[in-house]
Every structure is written in C-alpha cells, then in structure tokens.
Amino acid sequence: MQKNKILPSANYIKHAIKTMSWQPIIRNGWIIKFSVFEGGSSILLLFVSNHTGHTIIRSFTDEDDAVNFINYVVQLDPAEYI
C-alpha cells in the first residue's frame, strides 16, 4: 500500500522561507529551540522539559526580552515546573 504524500500549503512555504531556525540545545534539563522570522522581527522560543515533557512556547519582538526569558526558564527546575 502506497501512502499519498501531503504537499505543504503555499502559506506554509511562504513562512518557512522567511524563517531561520537552529538545532535545539539542552541547558539544565531544558531542550531549547530558537527561531527568527522575517529577518529577526519575531523571535520564537520553544522549551521542552527533558524530565516531564512540559512545553513552553513564547514569541518576542524584542531580543532583550527573549534573552531575559531564556535566562528565567533555564533557572527553573525542569523536573518540577508545571
């Protein structure tokens, strides 16, 4: 049985072309994925606890706010944060 391939939508392709993303990193039990959209006008952060699977997703327009949030989350205990 052959599976039908699902092609990405035009909207998805439009956004994917404008998005830069880097490999996830692990810091203090948190897996952190960092992406920027449209030349850095939007910053998307994705955090996943290595212990509980808890996920935090935040979008920022200011780089300083994004860095402060990264520092805040990395200091949290990933085994207890809910």
Residue-by-residue pLDDT tens, the chain, 82 positions = 567 888 889 888 888 888 898 999 999 999 999 999 877 789 999 999 988 888 999 999 999 999 999 999 999 888 876 5
Q: Which two tokens stand for residue 80?
A: 């207890």
Per-residue confidence (pLDDT) for residue 56, from 0 to 100 = 93
Model pTM score: 0.76
Q: Is residue 43 within 8 Å of 66, Cβ to Cβ?
A: yes
Per-residue confidence (pLDDT) for residue 69, from 0 to 100 = 95
Per-residue confidence (pLDDT) for residue 25, from 0 to 100 = 94
